[in-house]
Amino acid sequence: MADSDIERLRDGIDHAWEEARNFGLDPFPTHFELVPASIMYEFASYSLPGRFSHWTHGKAYHRQKMQYDFGLSKIYEMVVNTNPSYAFLMEMNDLLQNTFVAAHVFGHTDFFKNNAYFQHTSRRMIDKVSFHAERIAKYEFDHGKAEVERFLDAVLSIQEHVDYNLLIRQDEPDKDKNEEKSAHVVPGPYDDLWGLDTRAKKAEEARERKRGKSPRFPEQPEKDILLFLMRYSPHLEPWQRDIIDIVRTEMLYFVPQMQTKTMNEGWASIWHSRIMRSMGDNGYISDSDILEFATLHSGVLSPSKTHLNPYYVGFKVFEDIERRWDNPTKEEQERQGRKPGQGRQKIFEVREMDNDVSFLRNYLTKDLIKELDLYLYKKEGDEWVIVEKNWEKVRDGIVASMTNFGSPYLVVENGDYRGNRELYINHLFEGQELDMVYAEKTLQYVYTLWGRPVHLETLYEGKKILLSYDGERNTKSSLEK
């Protein structure tokens, strides 16, 4: 971009910010950077700039960059949930495209700041991941890159199995509460590392105490498998516990984004649309720019027959909520006390309180499912045919696919199975069978982390089975009587 174009872009972003504030949005201060495609796709593949190096990030980079090079897909922006927020714009996009993207970003940064599910996330995550990367690089120097990568492979294979609710409950059962109240230490970036040995010893002591008191350990099923392994694995070294802690910390940062993908993109799309239209009405952009923007907007919100477009679905649901609360029926006014003209207030309330599961369960109506053509299809020959027309079953199926952000719901049932420190994991079956090949390979990775035989109870072809790995071979046995 020429210097004059950069100045015009800066003015456009300033106007978009003013319009966002006029609409009642309350975004984090946002710092924009223009970057080439190679940098944009590198950041996108790592999800955050400065994260630790691993082959999975490189794989994601080459896949995304190849799709861009062949014209199959394009990333317009990347925005980071920090305070201030950082947004990266593609330098080869034209002035209008980047202005439109900035308007979209302000919707995201407003959502980051105000949605309840983001309130426990770190707003200094870019600094944190840089510290994490430094620590992992040190472990590679100390223990060998191949050994650290082998361990990271194991941890990343189960990175989705964390419990975000622990942050909300601030559940730290191994802490001395009195000591916590009396301590007034300013936290630093390496605090989690310095306390690893102490935490490991306390975890082992707690495990031993519980072994004597209860026939099962843990006493309650544990959803946060990474946390359980970090605390109670009998053979891990401090550097390995630290790597689990690093992966878990970064995963917990991403969970709210996974929980609110449809809402977040729908919210940003609603406001980029209104901000750009207002900029046109106020003469900040020309009529020809408005027409070009309409083309860009329709491209972003185009529906798909093969998957849910979160931009499209989120946009339409928010729009429908606003319309229904602005114009309630007579019955809604009488029975629910709903007053006309409350649409704007309602969508801001939903933005603050909901996640995708509650958002779609509460506000994806029969009329919307019909309008958006969200019935379940399958292909028979060359034709797509509807296989489910019941709107409630369609809605519930969509919601179910988002529960636990699409991952199987697994819990640690017993960390001392058969009195032999074997690990017993239970799959709380939600209707979707596990991929057996993937599950058996993952058990091998869990064995790397636990160091003792591991077992996974699940349902397959309607029967309860137990998958096991003892360090040498995978086995499968029936649990049916």
Q: Are residues 67 and 56 in the same domain?
A: yes
Q: Residue 209: pLDDT band by 50, 70, 90 thresholds?
A: low
Is 383 within a domain? yes
- The predicted model gives 154-173 an average pLDDT of 79
> What are the pLDDT digits (tens) for 30-82?
999 999 988 888 888 888 888 998 878 777 766 666 655 555 455 667 899 99
pLDDT the model gives residue 168: 63
Residues in the chain: 481
Is 396 within a domain? yes
Rounded to an integer, what distance in angstroms lies between the CA atom of residue 443 and that of residue 468? Answer: 7
Proportion of the chain above pLDDT 90, given as a percent: 64
Q: Are residues 383 and 354 in the same domain?
A: yes
Secondary-structure breakdown of the chain: helix, strand, coil percentages, each rounded to the nearest 5: 60, 15, 30
Q: Are residues 370 and 422 in the same domain?
A: no
Q: pTM of this prediction?
A: 0.85
| 3 state DSSP class of 480 | coil
- The predicted model gives 242-247 an average pLDDT of 97
Is 294 within a domain? no
Q: Are residues 397 and 418 in the same domain?
A: no
The strand pair at 454-460 and 422-427 is best described as parallel
Q: Who's near 78: CB < 8 A, 6+ residues apart?
A: 40, 43, 44, 87, 88
Structure token pair of residue 234: 């009998």
Q: Are residues 394 and 443 in the same domain?
A: no
Is 262 within a domain? no
- The predicted model gives 290-304 an average pLDDT of 90
In this predicted structure, the answer to whether residue 179 has a pLDDT above a threshold of 50 is no
Q: Are residues 399 and 412 in the same domain?
A: no
Given 404, 430, 446, the domain boundary residue is 404
> What are the pLDDT digits (tens) for 252-287?
999 999 999 999 999 999 999 999 999 999 999 999
Q: Are residues 14 and 99 in the same domain?
A: yes
In this predicted structure, the answer to whether residue 409 has a pLDDT above a threshold of 50 is yes
Angle at 449 (CA atoms; ends 445, 450), nearest 5 degrees: 110
Query: Is 432 exposed, middle or buried, given 0-12, 13-18 or 19+ CB atoms closer than 10 A?
Result: middle
Number of domains in the chain: 3
Q: Are residues 60 and 84 in the same domain?
A: yes
Given 404, 424, 449, the domain boundary residue is 404
Alpha helical stretches, state H, 260-327: 261-281, 287-300, 310-326
Helices and strands counted in the chain (H then E): 21, 10
Is 148 within a domain? no
Q: Are residues 444 and 394 in the same domain?
A: no
Q: Who's near 361: CB < 8 A, 6+ residues apart?
A: 395, 396, 399
Given 386, 404, 422, the domain boundary residue is 404
Domain limits for position 344? 310-404
Rounded to an integer, what distance in angstroms lies between the CA atom of residue 341 and that of residue 325? Answer: 7
Is 189 within a domain? no
Distances (CA, A) of 190 to 186, 194, 242, 435: 12, 6, 11, 39
Q: Are residues 370 and 457 in the same domain?
A: no
In this predicted structure, the answer to whether residue 200 has a pLDDT above a threshold of 70 is no
Angle at 471 (CA atoms; ends 158, 438), nearest 5 degrees: 40
